[in-house]
Amino acid sequence: MAEPAGRTLGDEETAALERVIRSGMLSSVWGTEARALEREVGEMYGSRFAIACSSGTAALHLSVVAAAPDPGDEIITTPITDFGTVAPILAQNAVPVFADVDPRDGNLDPDAVAELVGPRTRAIMAVHLFGSPARVAELRALADEHGLTLIEDCAQAWLSELPDGRYAGAAGHVATLSLQQWKHITCGDGGLALTDDEELARRMRLFADKGWDRAAGRSHESLGLNYRMTELQAAVARAQLVKLPGVVGSRRRTAGLLVEALRGLESVRAGEIVLPRPPGHAWWLFPLVLPGGDAPALAAHLSAAGVPARAGYLQEPLNRAPLWGRPVYGASQYPLEDYRPAPCPEAERLVSSTLLTIDWNEHYTSEHVTAIADAVAGYPGRP
Binding site for ligand PLP (CB under 6 A): 55-57, 81-82, 84-85, 127, 153, 155-156, 178, 180, 189, 191
What is the smallest separation between the CB atom of 350 and ligand PLP, expressed in angstroms? 15
What is the smallest separation between the CB atom of 56 and ligand PLP, expressed in angstroms? 2
Where b means 16+ CB within 10 Å and e means fewer, 288-309 reads bbbeeebbbbbbebbeeeebeb
Distance of CA 89 to the CA centre of its chain: 15
State the greatest distance between any 2 C-alpha atoms of the chain, in Å, as a whole number.
Answer: 71
Nearer to ligand PLP, 42 or 190 (CB): 190
Nearer to ligand PLP, 207 or 379 (CB): 207
Closest residue (Cβ) to ligand PLP?
56
Nearer to ligand PLP, 159 or 297 (CB): 159
Rounded Cα distance, 12 and 21, in Å: 14
What is the smallest separation between the CB atom of 255 and ligand PLP, expressed in angstroms? 18
Would you put residue 357 in left (φ > 0), alpha (ψ -120 to 50) or beta?
A: beta
Nearer to ligand PLP, 7 or 301 (CB): 7
Rounded Cα distance, 193 and 191, in Å: 7
Nearer to ligand PLP, 156 or 250 (CB): 156
Of 197, 161, 247, nearest in space to 62 by CA: 197
Instruction: Give the CA dihedral 330, 331, 334, 340, nearest 10 degrees.
Output: 120
What is the smallest separation between the CB atom of 107 and ligand PLP, expressed in angstroms? 11
**Contacts for 221 with CB less than 8 Å, ≥ 6 apart:** 206, 211, 212, 213
Nearer to ligand PLP, 102 or 294 (CB): 102
Peptide bond into 308 cis (omega under 30): no
What is the smallest separation between the CB atom of 383 and ligand PLP, expressed in angstroms? 35
What is the smallest separation between the CB atom of 254 and ligand PLP, expressed in angstroms? 21
What is the smallest separation between the CB atom of 182 and ligand PLP, expressed in angstroms? 7
Nearer to ligand PLP, 272 or 359 (CB): 359
**Contacts for 305 with CB less than 8 Å, ≥ 6 apart:** 371, 375, 378
Fill in the amino acid letter for 328.
V
Determine contact, residues 86/64, Cβ cutoff 8 Å.
no
